[in-house]
Amino acid sequence: MKSGNSRILLYHRIAEGVDDPFKLCVSPARFAAHLEEIGRHGEPSTLAELSLPSRRPRIVVTFDDGYADNLLNALPIAEAKGVPITIYVTSGVLGSPSGFWWDRLSTLLRSRPSAISEITLPIGEGTIRIGLGSSSRRKEIRSVHRHLLPLPVTEIHRVIDAVSEQWGVSAAPPPDARPLTPSEFLTLAASNVVTIGGHTVDHVRLRDLDAADQEQTISSSKEQLERLSGQAISHFAYPFGGKDSFDDHSVDAVRSAGFETACTTISGNASPTSDPFRLPRRMVKNWGRLGFRASLERWRLVPRH
């Protein structure tokens, strides 16, 4: 990385008026305002341009996971504003009716029958019980999420199925939170403002896998996306992305699979000394124009007034 003053921004979903316990959504109007501010204060760039010299700070817009609203809501705005976006797609979830497990968990907890005051998670040989109803819904979801996170993804879906059956309620993800279908993925990939990146096959937390399984999911996701899109997939983002979600094996596997960069969710500004396989990002929230500008100031992209 040669550019001295770059920011890689992290979005997940562009949607409004939807249930959003994980704070993943930015409204379309606000996203449009963000892209205008990005154009005003920086040089909207792709990851491939990050190491090229630039008079203005480079700003790279990225999306994690592969939600359908990236095509339906984000793409028209990015195309209208001429801002390149990179979308890290979880290859095995394309077109999956189950979608992402955290969205099923959110539906499940929202549908909890009032007579039920705890959730019993059948995990491994035993069960974990968590009291419900005494703290905020967001805290409850986070607390259950923490117990499920280390499990294999198929196991997480099995646990959610078991509780859903026990409670007699649905755990279908909300329709607005569905992943891209394969044909929507193709439409997205065909846009000249879009770069597709890899995000594993099933959004597993990599550090819970041994080196061989990490290599498998990382290289399979690349192959699947390349076969589907007919494009070379050169960029990767670690699922969850925090420093405890991947390890040195993950970095080695990403490099040997042939990726050129990998983004984390570790907060920071990309600099000439940034490891291209551990790039820091800045998480963007549903800020209005002024809030977004204040964040650009906080990230030292524009001077403070």
Residue with tokens 């650009």: 296
Q: Treating both helix axes as pointing N-terminal to C-terminal, what angle do 101-110 and 137-148 enclose, rounded to 10 degrees?
A: 140
* Pairing mode, strands 13-14 and 25-26: parallel
The Cα angle at residue 195 between residues 10 and 18, in degrees rounded to 5? 45
Task: Supply the minimum distance, in Å, between the C-beta of residue 5 and Zn ion.
Answer: 26
Query: Which stretch, 64-72, 93-101, 248-256, 282-290, contacts Zn ion (CB under 5 A)?
Result: 64-72
Task: Supply the minimum distance, in Å, between the C-beta of residue 238 and Zn ion.
Answer: 8
Q: How far apart are the first and last CA of the chain?
A: 29
Alpha carbons 144 and 101: distance in angstroms, whole number = 12
Alpha carbons 31 and 77: distance in angstroms, whole number = 8
Query: Which stretch, 34-42, 237-245, 252-260, 267-275, contacts Zn ion (CB under 5 A)?
Result: 237-245
Task: Supply the minimum distance, in Å, between the C-beta of residue 182 and Zn ion.
Answer: 19
Task: Supply the minimum distance, in Å, between the C-beta of residue 171 and Zn ion.
Answer: 20
Closer Cβ to Zn ion, 197 or 239, answer by number: 239
- Our finding on whether 202 is near Zn ion (CB under 5 A) is no
- Our finding on whether 215 is near Zn ion (CB under 5 A) is no
CA-only gyration radius of the chain, Å? 19
Question: 186 phi and psi, to 5 degrees?
Answer: -65, -40
Are 157 and 130 contacting, i.e. CB atoms less than 8 angstroms apart? no
Closer Cβ to Zn ion, 73 or 90, answer by number: 90
Instruction: Name every residue whose Cβ is closer than 8 Å to that of residue 156 and which is 6 or more positions away in sequence.
Output: 101, 148
Task: Supply the minimum distance, in Å, between the C-beta of residue 239 and Zn ion.
Answer: 5
Query: Which stretch, 59-67, 160-168, 184-192, 276-284, contacts Zn ion (CB under 5 A)?
Result: 59-67
| Binding residue count for Zn ion, defined by CB under 5 A | 3
Q: How many CB atoms lie within 10 A of CB 126?
A: 7
Task: Supply the minimum distance, in Å, between the C-beta of residue 100 and Zn ion.
Answer: 8
Query: Which stretch, 132-140, 177-185, 239-247, 254-262, contacts Zn ion (CB under 5 A)?
Result: 239-247
Task: Supply the minimum distance, in Å, between the C-beta of residue 281 and Zn ion.
Answer: 12
Question: 9 phi and psi, to 5 degrees?
Answer: -95, 145
Query: Which stretch, 135-143, 238-246, 283-291, 294-302, contacts Zn ion (CB under 5 A)?
Result: 238-246
Task: Supply the minimum distance, in Å, between the C-beta of residue 80 and Zn ion.
Answer: 26
Are 119 and 163 contacting, i.e. CB atoms less than 8 angstroms apart? yes
- Our finding on whether 65 is near Zn ion (CB under 5 A) is yes
Written as one letter, the residue type at 282 is R
Query: Which stretch, 56-64, 97-105, 117-125, 150-158, contacts Zn ion (CB under 5 A)?
Result: 56-64
Closer Cβ to Zn ion, 205 or 293, answer by number: 205
Are 180 and 63 contacting, i.e. CB atoms less than 8 angstroms apart? no
Q: Which residues contact Zn ion by CB under 5 A?
A: 64-65, 239
